[in-house]
């Protein structure tokens, strides 16, 4: 399952999908031309099921949208997926983040729906159908301080386990996402 530096919001959505049989999926792809096989690696998809690929971009750098759209395009062209979905935040959430004291963690340079749309309209997904969801302030429901504390404890425990694994020489997660884990 996804992990690494996934934000609490991303984790909650991923976990709900994993509970319904979705899985993180790394595709082994290659292209064969005149009996010569060329490896064509892709980025793992956050959640995959029945030809549908879902990426959650909550508070990453803007180029992550390009990576996701290119991945959707390639996987669609190879008939590995039928549709790509990107879940992100709307820019309107900025006001809510400021009220919650998290405004400095989110800025115009991070992923939000208003940055995604020009990339899609510019053909970033190639022929792959792309569905987008922008989480807006009206979707916010405060689960209370206990739920937040429990999630933060889990993040701390996961980081401690990861650090301990590194010290024992075990491979670290190759998750490239750089989200704010508290976001």
pLDDT in tens, 76-113: 999 999 999 999 888 777 777 777 666 666 666 677 77
- The pTM of this model reads 0.73
Domain ranges of the chain: 8-141
Cα torsion through 13, 24, 3, 12, rounded to 10? 10
Handedness of CA 17, 131, 183, 6 (dihedral sign): positive
30 phi/psi in degrees, rounded to 5: -155, 165
Residue 82 has a CB neighbour count (10 Å cut-off) of 13
pLDDT at 68 over 50: yes
HSE-up (13 A, CA, CB side) for residue 151: 17
pLDDT of 141 reads 77
Assign domain 8-141 to its CATH architecture: 3-Layer(aba) Sandwich (3.40)
**pLDDT more than 90, % of the chain:** 32
152-171: pLDDT as tens digits: 787 788 788 888 888 888 76
pLDDT of 60 reads 79
pLDDT of 41 reads 83
């Amino acid at each position: 399952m996804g992990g690494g530096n996934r934000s609490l919001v991303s984790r909650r959505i991923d976990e709900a999908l994993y509970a319904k049989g979705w899985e993180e999926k790394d595709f082994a792809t290659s292209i064969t031309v005149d009996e010569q096989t060329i490896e064509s690696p892709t980025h793992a998809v956050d959640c995959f099921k029945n030809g549908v690929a879902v990426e959650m971009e909550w508070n990453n750098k803007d180029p992550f949208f390009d990576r996701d759209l290119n991945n959707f395009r390639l996987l669609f062209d190879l008939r590995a997926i039928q549709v790509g979905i990107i879940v992100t935040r709307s820019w309107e959430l900025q006001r809510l983040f400021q009220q919650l004291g998290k405004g400095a963690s989110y800025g115009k340079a991070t992923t939000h729906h208003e940055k995604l749309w020009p990339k899609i309209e510019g053909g970033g997904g190639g022929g792959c159908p792309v569905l987008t969801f922008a989480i807006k302030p009206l979707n916010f429901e405060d689960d209370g301080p206990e739920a937040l504390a429990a999630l933060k404890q889990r993040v701390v425990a996961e980081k401690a386990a990861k650090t301990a694994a590194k010290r024992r020489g075990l491979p670290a997660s190759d998750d490239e996402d750089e989200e704010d884990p508290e976001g």
